[in-house]
Amino acid sequence: MTTNTTAQTPQTAETVKQAPAPTTLLYAVIAGSLLTIVSAFLAWTWTAEFPGDLTYYGSPADLQYVTLAGGALTLVHALSALGVKGLGWLTPNGSRKALFFLTLGNLAATWFTVLAITVVLGGVVNLEPGALVALVGSLIPVIAVSKLPDDTRKAAPAKQLPSWAEILIITAVFAIGLFVITYGIDTDDKEPQLFVAYLITVGLAAFALNKSGLFARLGGLTAKYRQVTLIGTAAAAIAFPFIQQSGDTYTLIAVNILIFATVALGLNVVVGLAGLLDLGYVAFLGVGAYAAALVSGSTASAFGIHLPFWAAVIVGALASLIFGVVIGAPTLRLRGDYLAIVTLGFGEIFRIAMGNLDGTSGPDITNGPNGIPNIPHLELFGWNFGESHVVGGITLGAYANYYFLMLLVMALVVVVFARAGSSRIGRAWVAIREDETAAEAMGINGFKVKLIAFALGATLAGLAGTVQAHVNSTVVPENYVFAGPVPPNSAFLLAAVILGGMGTIRGPILGAALLFLIPAKLAFLQDYQLLAFGIALILLMRFRPEGLIANKRAQLEFHDDTADQAPTDLATAKAGA
C-alpha cells in the first residue's frame, strides 16, 4: 500500500502542476467577455434585410444589446470571482455555477443570432467581422469555465448595510426587473429572433443568479422590508402602461397575462393546496364570462339585461360558484385519475353545451358557435374603459384601463389565496393533499374540505372571466377548450401552476406569464409551438421538478442533496409550506 501511494504521488503532483490556475482561467473569461462586448459595437452583417439591421458600427441593434448584456453580466461575475472589492456580494454561494449558466446563455444567444443571420440571408458570406468576434468571444468563456474548480459554499451572513442602502437596493432591483419585463413584452413581432435570444439570455441568467445565491440574499432583504417590497411591487406594476412606447399594442398582452395568472391562482387552490387534479378548470372561466356577457348589455344577449359592472361581477362569480358546487358535489368523492377524467368531461360538456344553445340544437341562450359579441366597454364613475385618457401628460389607451382593473382583481385574488392558505381550512387542504386517508383519520372531513376548495377555485376563475368578457368584447365556445396552441386552456393553466410552483403565489403568476407570453411571441413557429413547449416541459421536469418558484417543502421532497440539511431547515420548510 505504501509503495502504491508513493508511486502515485509524483503523477498527482504533475497533474496539479499542469492544470491551469483558476486565476488564469478567470482572466480568459474576462477576455472573452470583453470581446463579446466589443463585438456588439461592430457590424454583424452587411445588409439591412435581416430583421433588426445589424449593419452599423458603434451603434448596437437590439439583438446586439442582448449579447452586450450577457457579456457584461459574465464580466461582472468573473471580476467577483477574482475577489474584486465590492463585488463579492454577487456570488455568496460561489461563482463557478453562476458563470457556467451565464457563459452558456451568452454562447447560446450569440450563436443562435449568427446562425439565424446565416440561414435568413443564405450563407456565411453575409457575416461581417463583428459576428465572428462575437462567436469567438462567447466561446472562450465557456471553455474556461468548464475547467474551473467547483467553489460552491454555504453563503456567509450578508454584511449589514444602512437601512437606506438596503431600500435603495430593493428599489434598483424592481427598476431592473420592470425594464427587463418591459423589454421582453415590447420586442417587435417582426423580429422573432430577438425574443428567442432575449428568452435564452434571461432564462439562463436567472438560473445563474439563483445558483450564485443572489436571489436568496435579495429575498432576505425583501422579507426584512415587506412594506417597501409591497409598495415597490405595486409601483412597478402601475408604471408599466406609462412606459409603453407602442401604445396599446403590448398592453393587451399584459392584460391577458394578468387574466391568465389570476385564473392560474384560482386553479392553484384546487391543485396546489388541495391536491385535486382538475382538467376542466377553464370551464369555470367560461361560466363567468358567459354569465357576465348575458347581463352586460350585449346586443346578442338573450336576456336584454344591462347590469352595472359590479353586479355583473357578482353574477359571474356566483354562477361559477354554483357550477363548482354542482359539479364538485357528486364527483369529489372520487380520487386521482378518476377525478381528473370526470373534470375533463365537465370541461368538454360545457364547451359543447355553449355551442348548442343556439335555438336549433337547444334553447336560444348563447347564440351557439357564434358566441355573444358586442359586449359594451365598462364605465365606472364616469370613466369609459373603451376610450383613451391622458394621465400626467401621458396618453393611456383603452387596454391600459383594463390593465389597472385586472391589477385590482389580481390583488384581491392574491389576498384571498394568501389568507385561505394560512387559515385552518388551508392547513386542512395541505393535509388532504399530502395524505387524504391520514387526514380523515385525524378528524378532517375530506369531502367538505375538497368541496370548499373546488368552489373557491371556481369563484376566482369566474371573477376573472367577467373581466375577460369585456376585454375581448365577445365570448365564444372555442376560447374554453382543454388544449390548444393559444392559452388560456385547461392544459396550459395546469402547466402554469406546475411550472411556476404549486402551492405558492409567485409561482403560478410567473408560470402563467411565461406560458402566455412565449406562444404570443413565437407565433412564427406555428405548428411547432406545442413541440417546443413539450421539450421545455421535459427539461423543466428533469432539472427543476419542484417548479421555478417552489416552497421549501417541495425542494426537500424533490432533491436528495437537501436530505442532510440541518433540522432547522426542516422546521423552516414546514413553517413556510
Q: Rounded to the nearest 5 degrees, what angle is found at the Cα of 264, between the Cα atoms of 261 and 270?
A: 155
Mean pLDDT for the stretch of residues 97-103: 91
Least confident of 389-393, 505-509, 517-521, 565-569: 565-569
Note whether 455 and 331 are same-domain residues. Answer: yes
pLDDT-derived band at 135, boundaries 50, 70, 90: very high
In terms of domains, do 256 and 226 share one? no
Average pLDDT of the residues in 117-143:
90
Confidence of residue 246 (pLDDT cuts 50, 70, 90): low
Q: Is the pLDDT of residue 318 over 90?
A: yes
3-state secondary structure of 123: coil
Look at residue 8 and tell me whether its pLDDT is greater than 60.
no
Give the span between the Cα atoms of 265 and 128, in whole angstroms: 48
Is the model's pLDDT at 38 over the cut of 90? yes
End residue of a domain, out of 214, 236, 258: 236
This prediction has a pTM of: 0.81
Final residue before a domain boundary, out of 517, 536, 562: 517
CATH of the domain at 469: 1.10.3470
For residue 573, pLDDT beyond 60:
no
Residue 427 lies in a domain: yes
Q: Share the mean pLDDT of the chain.
A: 82
Of 12-26, 167-181, 278-292, the range with the lowest mean pLDDT is 12-26
pLDDT confidence band for 560 (50 / 70 / 90):
low
554 in a domain, yes or no?
Answer: no
Please indicate, yes or no, whether residues 204 and 322 belong to a single structural domain of this protein. no
How many CB atoms are closer than 10 A to CB 377?
15
Q: What is the pLDDT of residue 275?
A: 84
User: Are 195 and 343 in the same domain?
Assistant: no
Q: pLDDT-derived band of residue 570, with 50, 70 and 90 as boundaries? A: very low
Do 218 and 299 lie in one domain? The reply is no
Question: What's the pLDDT band for 103 if we cut at 50, 70, 90?
Answer: very high
Residue pLDDT, tens place only, 253-295: 888 889 988 999 889 888 888 888 888 888 899 899 999 888 8
pLDDT beyond 90 at 35: yes
Residues 177 and 227 in one domain: yes
Q: What residue has cell string 422579507?
A: 223
- HSE value, Cβ hemisphere, 13 Å, CA-based, for 576: 16
Strands (E), 254-396: 379-380, 383-384, 389-391, 394-396
For residues 266 and 343, state if they share a domain: yes
Q: Note down the domain range covering 362.
A: 249-517
Please tell me the distance from the alpha carbon of residue 361 to that of residue 484, in angstroms, as a whole number: 26
Interior CA angle at 545 toward 540 and 546, to 5°? 125
In a domain, 63, yes or no: yes
Residue position matching grid coordinates 370551464? 283
Inside any domain, residue 415: yes
Return the pLDDT at 249.
Answer: 73
3-class state of residue 358 by DSSP? strand
* Residue 136 confidence class, pLDDT cut points 50, 70, 90: very high
Percent of the chain with pLDDT over 90: 14
Give the tens place of pLDDT for each residue, 353-388: 888 887 777 787 888 888 888 888 887 777 777 777
Q: Which residue is it, cell 427539461?
A: 539
The residue out of 478, 500, 517 marking a domain boundary is 517
> Is 466 or 391 the better-scoring residue by pLDDT?
466
Q: What is the pLDDT of residue 555?
A: 63
Task: State the pLDDT at residue 563.
Answer: 41
User: Is the per-residue pLDDT at 310 higher than 70?
Assistant: yes
CA angle, residues 333, 338, 341, in degrees to nearest 5: 120
pLDDT at 12: 40
Between 16 and 518, the more confident residue is: 518
| pLDDT exceeds 80 at position 147 | yes
Q: Is residue 284 part of a domain?
A: yes
- Biggest distance spanned by C-alpha atoms of the chain: 97
Distance between CA atoms of 246 and 188, rounded to whole angstroms? Answer: 10
> Mean of the pLDDT values across residues 224-252?
82
My answer on whether 188 and 148 are in the same domain is yes
What is the DSSP annotation of 195-255? HHHHHHHHHHHHHHHHHHTHHHHHHHHHHHTHHHHHHHHHHHHHHGGGG-SSTTTTHHHHH
Q: Identify whether 257 is part of a domain.
A: yes
Residue type, 465: G
Q: Mark whether 62 and 116 lie in a shared domain.
A: yes
pLDDT of residue 21: 56
Give pLDDT, residue 321: 92
* Domains held by the chain: number: 2
Percentage of the chain lying above the pLDDT 70 cut? 90
For residue 199, being part of any structural domain is answered with yes
> CA-CA distance, 320 to 176, in Å (whole number)?
39
Range 562-576 average pLDDT: 41
Confidence (pLDDT) at 89 = 80
Whether 429 maps to a domain, the answer reads yes
Residues 214 and 260 in one domain: no
Question: Same domain for 104 and 203?
Answer: yes
* φ, ψ at 383 (rounded to 5°): -100, 110
How far apart CA 570 and CA 562 sit, in angstroms, is 10
Per-residue model confidence (pLDDT) at position 134 = 92
Question: Which range is least confidently modeled, 56-70, 392-406, 550-564?
Answer: 550-564
- Together in a domain, 416 and 372: yes
